[in-house]
């Protein structure tokens, strides 16, 4: 099991990342999502809470040059208690398919990586079910070749107390940016509150590149949700 904060500290540019798991007391599902940016356009964003989750929003609307791929709803909570978290507008694709009686795999089979060559940024997605079990996925190009989309699905039907899995878009900084490789990292989760975990993760993210962070802890018995949002632009 890896130390999540050390993984973040050792990687100046993991891009966007999702962490899903279980708190140490085995009572809550743990969810974290962060975004980073290298360009002024990417850094000009904040997370804003919505009725069913969050959306990304320009901090300064006058400085937004291209909203495609950076303005979306990363987190949506469905009426049946299923939580979706992704790094793009595939959040809505998954939500619409689940409402129509399909599964997240069916939804993601209709999508590919982002059309931002030469990076071809992977689409990462997670689904947390009401019982706390969760799925993760990544859609990425074949070694940077946009002619082939590789779809990987990871399903965890019995989460372990104090542990979770972390997936992110990039192996690190570079030009072009190298896509994430391998299985999601198995990481320790010791958070007692959403705010405490958020502050811990925020401190570990690269100061120059971090943009926004969202954390949610869900009580598996009551459904109560403890949420924390941190933005570089207040």
The tokens 């990462």 sit on which residue? 124
Percentage, residues of the chain above pLDDT 70: 100
The confidence band for 206, taking pLDDT boundaries of 50, 70 and 90, is: very high
144-149: average pLDDT? 96
Average pLDDT across the chain, whole number: 97
Q: Is the pLDDT of residue 234 over 90?
A: no
- pLDDT value at 155 more than 90: yes
The DSSP element (H or E) to which 56 belongs, if any, is strand 53-58
Q: Please enumerate in sequence order all residues whose Cβ is within 8 A of that of 125, keeping only pairs 6 or more positions apart, or say none.
A: 18, 84, 85, 86, 87, 90, 91, 94, 104, 108, 136, 137, 138, 139
Per-residue pLDDT at 22: 97
Place 191 in a pLDDT band, splitting at 50, 70 and 90: confident
Nearest to 187 by CA among 10, 52, 13, 38: 10
Q: What is the pLDDT of residues 20-37, one digit of tens each?
A: 999 999 999 999 999 999
CB 46 within 8 A of CB 26: no
**pLDDT score recorded for residue 11:** 97
Per the structure block, which two tokens stand in for 94? 């998954």
Q: What is the pLDDT of residue 164?
A: 98
Distance of CA 94 to the CA centre of its chain: 14
């Amino acid at each position: 099991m890896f130390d999540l904060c050390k993984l973040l500290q050792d990687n100046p540019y993991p891009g966007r990342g999702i962490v899903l798991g279980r708190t140490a007391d085995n009572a809550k599902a743990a969810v974290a999502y962060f975004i980073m940016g290298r360009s002024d356009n990417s850094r000009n964003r904040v997370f804003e809470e919505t009725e069913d989750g969050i959306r990304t929003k320009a901090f300064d609307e006058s400085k937004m040059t291209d909203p495609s791929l950076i303005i979306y709803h990363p987190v949506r909570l469905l009426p049946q208690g299923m939580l979706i978290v992704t790094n793009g507008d595939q959040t809505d694709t998954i939500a619409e398919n689940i409402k129509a009686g399909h599964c997240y795999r069916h939804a993601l089979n209709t999508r590919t990586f982002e059309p931002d060559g030469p990076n071809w940024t992977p689409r990462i997605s997670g689904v947390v079910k009401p019982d706390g079990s969760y799925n993760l996925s990544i859609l990425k190009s074949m070694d940077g070749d946009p002619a082939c989309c590789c779809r990987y699905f990871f399903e965890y039907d019995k989460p372990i107390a104090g542990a979770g899995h972390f997936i992110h878009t990039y192996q690190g900084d570079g030009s072009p940016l190298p896509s994430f490789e391998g299985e999601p990292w198995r990481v320790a989760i010791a958070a007692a509150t959403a705010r405490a975990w958020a502050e811990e993760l925020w401190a570990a993210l690269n100061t120059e590149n971090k943009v926004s962070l969202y954390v949610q802890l869900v009580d598996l018995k009551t459904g109560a949700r403890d949420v924390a949002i941190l933005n570089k632009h207040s």
